Chain A
């Protein structure tokens, strides 16, 4: 049965208005990033001309290139680390029989109930003791193990037919070969979902890098934004917004490309 024309128009109208509202702040920031000081004070919405002066300024005020590179290294490492650690654990939970499996699985799940912020004080001390302040390992390693990720992959691994496992054993495939050459390729969609999720959340992480970076060596873009905002406030909003746009472009692109995948994968992990 088809929708009537009237209700179609009505729905398009609602879609347009509400999505414009949602996207407005980003568009606004984008416009501001091309404006000069006086234009911003006049309260315009469209810049008089498109020039990239604010963008060149923001790169000269801050080691933004460094920060971007740091964020990229940190996010990619956490992504790969999570994929490796979580898929190994999920494999053990699905394909290996051992004593205490349910108990260990319960322990994993219980970590989801511990808010990360409740443990951050001793974690900072641990990082200090390891002398990992201002290091990539300090920024990344604590996040490699992820109960949600293990759970998500486990759900996918459970759908792999048992016959495949048996056949691989008969064919004399080692455990690791089965894991590497059968389980992982079959679960590509879940791995992509988890990877995108891990990259996105790490790129956007704020509190942890704030706590354990004290200089510019491994500082991430999010902390760069805080710096920029507190340095430039009230003076050059155009430069600040240029910084914002540079920081959000990589994740927005990733989201636009992987939106379908994320939405499917995350809701599956949520439900089963």
Chain B
């Protein structure tokens, strides 16, 4: 009895912890862990219309996907999209953050401008860009005609559609990347610059030798987040192109969405979801492996 009382008293933190952690644990179990395992499970089955597993097919869904030109195309488009968007977004955001980090009068106004796209939803941004890409009344084709360049069917041309979506996506993601990078820049210790100024080091020397190395943890973080975000792109595709023309913008999440909720092929959709999960896992692990070596922590 005393032993029990002792145990009871000693575990009081543990019991409180259960209470404090319970909401998170329940929600994560129901909406993250269970559906992840369920997705893996479903990827080995053919399903009925309501999404119940019907026939076990082993790896057939995956085999089917790897052999289907549609899925190969989707993977290729996703890869290209990541390549088009991530480096440019980060370079632009870094450039803006460096500018906005200067101590000048009215700099707060510019910071607000640069970060503004973070406050604009994907749906709203997409509608604005849909108008700007409009072949007859949109701004881009008007500009082209002013300079007597041939018109481009931005979102309707399979050659251009992915690039157009990428351009709009770069704009949408600028605000967030900018805010993170500016925050990183402001965390750099002022004293580091002061000593280098005495030595008479130029701006670009300081950038290369002090700013970028000190910013590397933030850069590393924003690269990881941007990569993951790019793989998860959905809203702009749904509004701008619906995966077309001739599937040139059928990025993986849009492909999953279509397969599951329009074609009701939950088995193959789940297999695609598993592939998405694996890709993101690999990206994250690679990032951390590479990052550990490159990143300079204070």
> Beta-carbon contacts of A157-185 to B below 8 Å, as 1s and 0s?
00000000000000000010000000000
* A118 and B277 within 8 A (CB): yes
> Beta-carbon contacts of B1-32 to A below 8 Å, as 1s and 0s?
00000000001011011001101110110111
> Beta-carbon contacts of A194-219 to B below 8 Å, as 1s and 0s?
00000010011011001100000000
Instruction: Tell me, in angstroms, the Cα distance from A99 to B21 when the chains sit together.
Output: 13
Across the interface, which residues of B come within 8 angstroms of A107, CB to CB? Answer: 28
Across the interface, which residues of A come within 8 angstroms of B34, CB to CB? Answer: 122, 126
Instruction: State how many angstroms separate the Cβ of A159 from the closest Cβ of chain B.
Output: 15
Across the interface, which residues of B come within 8 angstroms of A28, CB to CB? Answer: 128, 132, 139
> Given the known A-B contacts A11-B99, A11-B104, are A97 and B13 also in contact in the complex, defined by CB atoms under 8 Å?
yes
| Secondary structure type dominating chain B contacts | helix
Find A92's partner among B20, B36, B96 (CB 8 Å cutoff): B20
* A121 and B266 within 8 A (CB): yes
Across the interface, which residues of A come within 8 angstroms of B269, CB to CB? Answer: 121
* A12 and B104 within 8 A (CB): yes
* A126 and B30 within 8 A (CB): yes
Instruction: Tell me, in angstroms, the Cα distance from A175 to B16 when the chains sit together.
Output: 8
12 A-B pairs within 8 Å (CB atoms) are namely A11-B99, A11-B104, A97-B13, A98-B17, A120-B35, A145-B24, A145-B27, A223-B123, A226-B123, A240-B127, A252-B119, A270-B184
Chain A residue with Cβ nearest B138: A43
> Given the known A-B contacts A125-B51, A226-B123, A271-B187, are A119 and B31 also in contact in the complex, defined by CB atoms under 8 Å?
yes
Instruction: State how many angstroms separate the Cβ of A244 from the closest Cβ of chain B.
Output: 5
Indicate the size class of the contact surface on chain B.
35 or more
> Beta-carbon contacts of A216-228 to B below 8 Å, as 1s and 0s?
0000001101101
Asked if B179 CB lies within 8 Å of chain A CBs, one says yes
* B239 and A229 within 8 A (CB): yes
* B24 and A206 within 8 A (CB): no
Across the interface, which residues of B come within 8 angstroms of A223, CB to CB? Answer: 123
* A241 and B36 within 8 A (CB): no
Apart from A121-B51, A223-B123, A240-B131, what 10 extra A-B contacts exist at CB < 8 Å? A26-B120, A96-B13, A118-B277, A141-B27, A204-B122, A228-B127, A229-B239, A267-B186, A271-B184, A271-B218
Interface residues of chain B, those whose CB is within 8 Å of chain A, are 11, 13-14, 16-17, 20-21, 23-25, 27-28, 30-36, 38-39, 42, 50-51, 95-96, 99-100, 102, 104, 107, 110-125, 127-132, 137, 139, 142, 171, 174-175, 179-180, 182-184, 186-187, 197, 217-218, 221-222, 228, 231-232, 234-235, 238-239, 253, 256-257, 260-261, 266, 269-270, 273-274, 276-277, 280-281, 284
Across the interface, which residues of A come within 8 angstroms of B39, CB to CB? Answer: 118-119, 121-122
* A259 and B123 within 8 A (CB): no
Find B183's partner among A19, A248, A267 (CB 8 Å cutoff): A267
Asked if A66 CB lies within 8 Å of chain B CBs, one says no
Instruction: State how many angstroms separate the Cβ of B117 from the closest Cβ of chain A.
Output: 7
Interface residues of chain A, those whose CB is within 8 Å of chain B, are 1, 3, 8, 11-12, 14-15, 18-20, 22-23, 25-26, 28-29, 32, 40-41, 43, 84-86, 88-89, 91-92, 96-99, 101, 104, 107-108, 111, 113-126, 141-142, 144-145, 150, 175, 200, 203-204, 206-207, 210-211, 222-223, 225-226, 228-229, 237, 240-241, 243-244, 247-248, 251-252, 254-256, 259, 262-264, 266-268, 270-271
* B139 and A222 within 8 A (CB): no
* B139 and A226 within 8 A (CB): no
* B238 and A210 within 8 A (CB): yes
* A121 and B260 within 8 A (CB): yes
Across the interface, which residues of B come within 8 angstroms of A8, CB to CB? Answer: 104
Instruction: State how many angstroms separate the Cβ of A169 from the closest Cβ of chain B.
Output: 11
* B228 and A115 within 8 A (CB): yes
Q: What are the 3 closest A-B residue pairs judged by CB atoms, nearest first?
A: A267-B183, A255-B119, A122-B35
Across the interface, which residues of A come within 8 angstroms of B232, CB to CB? Answer: 115-117
* A43 and B142 within 8 A (CB): yes
Chain B residue with Cβ nearest A87: B20
Across the interface, which residues of B come within 8 angstroms of A144, CB to CB? Answer: 23, 27
Chain A residue with Cβ nearest B111: A259
Q: Max chain A CB contacts within 10 Å: which of B99, B100, B119?
A: B119
* B180 and A19 within 8 A (CB): no
Across the interface, which residues of A come within 8 angstroms of B100, CB to CB? Answer: 15
Instruction: State how many angstroms separate the Cβ of A193 from the closest Cβ of chain B.
Output: 11
* A145 and B23 within 8 A (CB): yes
Across the interface, which residues of B come within 8 angstroms of A104, CB to CB? Answer: 21, 25
* A267 and B36 within 8 A (CB): no
Instruction: State how many angstroms separate the Cβ of B42 from the closest Cβ of chain A.
Output: 7
Instruction: State how many angstroms separate the Cβ of B139 from the closest Cβ of chain A.
Output: 7
* A226 and B239 within 8 A (CB): yes
Instruction: Tell me, in angstroms, the Cα distance from A119 to B274 when the chains sit together.
Output: 9
> Given the known A-B contacts A115-B228, A115-B276, are A270 and B23 also in contact in the complex, defined by CB atoms under 8 Å?
no
* B121 and A11 within 8 A (CB): no
* A267 and B35 within 8 A (CB): no
Across the interface, which residues of B come within 8 angstroms of A207, CB to CB? Answer: 234-235, 253, 257
Instruction: State how many angstroms separate the Cβ of A245 from the closest Cβ of chain B.
Output: 9
Instruction: Tell me, in angstroms, the Cα distance from A131 to B100 when the chains sit together.
Output: 49
* A117 and B273 within 8 A (CB): yes
Instruction: State how many angstroms separate the Cβ of A55 from the closest Cβ of chain B.
Output: 15
Instruction: Tell me, in angstroms, the Cα distance from A41 to B253 when the chains sit together.
Output: 35
